[in-house]
Amino acid sequence: MLKGFKEFILKGNVVDMAVGVVMGVAFGNVVSAAVKDLVSPLIGALGGTPDFSGLVFTVNKSQFMIGDFINSLVSFLSVATVVYFAVIVPMNKIMKKMKSGKTEDPTEKACSECLSLIPIAAKRCKFCSSVVGK
């Protein structure tokens, strides 16, 4: 029984998943700190103190802490915004460049006769001197 458990724990998938969870928690802490230390004070500077925890309403002696919910909602939206613009948008650009295989505009083209690389503006191949069409 312990042998099977040992094999399960040492499988690559379990170890990879554990590393992913640890990295996710660490990244979550970084994003939460960015929201708490940078985004929330910015919201406070623009629109007043971003703390709604004092907002409550009462129905039949039951208090509804609507302010705490609003704080959580603002925090979630702030984290989602930071993750989208700081991680998702740059990663999408990187992945698009990687999929296209191009990192910048080409400066050379292949000669149709000898397949040597020549400048795009060239009218003749510098290696075989054949006329190169555009």
The model's pLDDT over 87-102, given as tens digits with 9 standing for 90+, comes to 889 988 888 887 876 5
Averaged pLDDT, 47-71:
81
Claim to verify: residue 39 and residue 85 sit in the same structural domain:
yes
Question: Cα separation of 13 and 19, whole Å?
Answer: 10
Answer yes or no: do 71 and 124 share one domain.
Answer: no
Residues 35 and 82 in one domain: yes
Whether 93 and 114 map to the same domain: the answer is no
User: Would the pTM of this model clear 0.85, i.e. be above it?
Assistant: no
**32 torsion bin: left (phi>0), alpha (psi -120 to 50), beta (else):** alpha
Residues 79 and 19 in one domain: yes
| 75 lies in the same domain as 117 | no
**Rounded distance between C-alpha atoms, residue 72 and residue 78, angstroms:** 10
Of the chain, the end-to-end C-alpha distance in Å amounts to: 71
Spatial contact of 107 and 120, defined as CB atoms under 8 Å apart = yes
| Whole-angstrom distance, CA of residue 36 vs CA of residue 50 | 11
Residues 83 and 134 placed together within one structural domain of the fold: no
93 and 108 part of one domain: no
- Cβ neighbours for 125, distance < 8 A, ≥ 6 positions apart: 111, 113, 114, 116, 118, 132
| Structure confidence at residue 121 (pLDDT) | 87
Query: Which sign does the torsion angle of CA 49, 52, 53, 58 carry?
Result: positive
Shared-domain flag, residues 75 and 124: no
Q: What is the domain-level CATH number for residue 89?
A: 1.10.1200.120
The domain tally of the chain equals: 2
pLDDT per position as a tens digit, 24-52 = 888 878 877 877 777 777 777 877 766 67
Of residues 68 and 85, the one with the higher pLDDT is 85
92 and 109 share one domain: no
Asked if residue 79 lies in contact with residue 35, where contact means CB atoms within 8 angstroms, the answer is yes
**Domain that residue 118 falls in:** 104-134
Contact 17, 57 (CB under 8 A): no
Co-location of 36 and 8 in the same domain: yes
